Structure 1
Amino acid sequence: MRLVLVSDTHGRHEELVLPEGDCLIHAGDFSSGWQLEDVAAFLQWFAGQPHRHKLLIAGNHDRCFEALPEQMLQLIPEGVIYLQDSACELEGIRVWGSPWTPRFFDFSFMLSRGEPLAERWRRIPDDVELLITHGPPHGLADQTSTGEHVGCEDLKQRLQQLPQLRLHVCGHIHEGYGIYPDRSGRHTTVNASSCRWADPGLNPPLVLDF
């Protein structure tokens, strides 16, 4: 299955040139706040893409999805799978998606480091093969422009406990864009952030065969 991976488009999704593929994955931060009309427009654009599977999670800027969850779920178009601490199966591939990141200022889907986040990661099934989280693990795809690694330590630990994990898709730290084989060699982490940190350009979508 060919995966097309994006994240952190922040309202600039229509500027993307999306490659052909079987599954389009957006790892959160598709909006920039509370504008319901912008969220609705993004969802219609996302649903209209030709990829036969379309997976979506929220990020810390997608405030409506935490503040108005029932209303947002009603906006999800047919053909789009929205994951929030939940699973799906695509052509036999076991998938889990989660929006949480370590607390940083007053954004959405944020929890304190330690047990609050660790409890969320324990919900990930042991047999997951494709994991989508908004934020990266500590030490991988998480280095900011200051050189600091700001990813989640508890997520890193949980990744090492998932024996069937093959691919982890994330975003959140725009400077971390890229493809990162895990040091254990068991899985690959991809930071698919589309918006760049240092300039107004966009990173191209990343394509992987699963």
Structure 2
Amino acid sequence: MRLVCISDTHSMHRQVAVPDGDVLIHAGDCLGVGTLEELEDLDNWLSEQPHRHKILIAGNHDWCLQDEPAEAEALLRHAIYLRDSGTEIEGVRFWGSPWTPIFFDWAFNLARGPAIAERWAQIPAATDVLITHGPPAGILDQVFTAKDSLSVGCEDLARELERLAVKLHIFGHIHEGYGQQTLNYRLYVNASTCTGQYKPMNPPIVLDI
């Protein structure tokens, strides 16, 4: 099965050259300001993609999926939308969740500690591919300031991953963390399409599993 992974397109999806594959995965921040009109355009674009399956989760910019969930989800006719839920494709078990630790006042934010840990506790132990919007702490989660770099991933997610047999974890959110890292036999993928300057220049990450 060939997975094609993107994230953080911020309504610039039409500027992305997406290679063919079996499953197109979008790990959130698909919208710019988070309107239903942007989401409808995204769904039209998804309908044009050749992949047999498409999976989408929300991110902190995707306001309509938080604030108008019924209307927004009705627009998603060409993707499997996961919100603390899962799907199985050809025997591979996927789970998707949009939450990130509180950072200013964004969508799908929860406080670190029990509030967000409760969401991670819902991830089934048998999950093969985990899709979250944000990274776990210490994995492709560095942001850079004028003086240093900071690890801003979720400690609660990192702890939850210790109990899981997840083979592949796909996320985005931290644009500067784009890339792949293998740790303890698990592959982590930060598929952020946009750079730190919000330019959609990072190519999709293609994986065969």
Task: Tell me which interval the TM-score lies in, with the shorter structure as reference length.
Answer: over 0.9
For 1:36-87, what per-residue CA distance to the aligned partner results, in whole angstroms no more than 9, with x for missing partners?
A: 211110111013210001000000000000000011111111x410000001
Q: Secondary structure at the match of 1:144?
A: strand
Q: What TM-score, normalized by structure 1, do the two folds share?
A: 0.95
- Matched-pair contact (CA < 8 Å) for 1:47–1:54: no
Equivalent AA in structure 1 for residue 39 of structure 2: V
Instruction: State the Cα distance separating 1:104 from its structure 2 match.
Output: 0.4
Equivalent AA in structure 1 for residue 40 of structure 2: A
Task: Provide the rounded CA distance (Å) in 2 between the counterparts of 1:200 and 1:125.
Answer: 35
Task: Provide the rounded CA distance (Å) in 1 between the counterparts of 2:29 and 2:45.
Answer: 15
- Matched-pair contact (CA < 8 Å) for 2:12–2:200: no
- Matched-pair contact (CA < 8 Å) for 1:176–1:191: yes
1:101 aligns with 2:103: no
The corresponding residue for 1:40 is: 40
Instruction: State the Cα distance separating 1:198 from its structure 2 match.
Output: 3.8
After TM superposition, list the pairs within 5 Å mapping 1:89-128 onto structure 2: 89-128=88-127
Instruction: State the Cα distance separating 1:199 from its structure 2 match.
Output: 6.6
The corresponding residue for 1:168 is: 169
For 1:134-154, what per-residue CA distance to the aligned partner results, in whole angstroms no more than 9, with x for missing partners?
A: 000000010002310000001
1:32–1:198: structure 2 CA closer, same or farther, 3 Å change rule? Answer: closer
Task: Provide the rounded CA distance (Å) in 2 between the counterparts of 1:53 and 1:136.
Answer: 24
- Matched-pair contact (CA < 8 Å) for 1:95–1:129: yes
Equivalent AA in structure 2 for residue 181 of structure 1: T
Q: Secondary structure at the match of 2:143?
A: coil
The corresponding residue for 2:152 is: 150
Task: Provide the rounded CA distance (Å) in 2 between the counterparts of 1:35 and 1:55.
Answer: 19
Equivalent AA in structure 1 for residue 104 of structure 2: F
Structure 1 window deviating more from structure 2 (40-49 vs 86-95): it is: 40-49
After TM superposition, list the pairs within 5 Å mapping 1:1-210 onto structure 2: 1-77=1-77, 79-146=78-145, 147-163=149-165, 165-182=166-183, 184=184, 186-198=185-197, 200-210=199-209
Task: Provide the rounded CA distance (Å) in 2 between the counterparts of 1:18 and 1:135.
Answer: 22
For 1:106-165, what per-residue CA distance to the aligned partner results, in whole angstroms no more than 9, with x for missing partners?
A: 1000000001111000000000000000000000010002310000001011111112x1
Instruction: State the Cα distance separating 1:201 from its structure 2 match.
Output: 5.0
Task: Provide the rounded CA distance (Å) in 2 between the counterparts of 1:9 and 1:34.
Answer: 12
What CA RMSD, in Å, does the superposition of the two structures yield over aligned residues? Answer: 1.1
- Divergent runs of 4+, >4 A: none
State how many pairs are aligned: 206
Percent identity over the alignment is: 51
Equivalent AA in structure 1 for residue 180 of structure 2: I
Q: Secondary structure at the match of 2:181?
A: strand
Unaligned runs of 5+ in 1: none
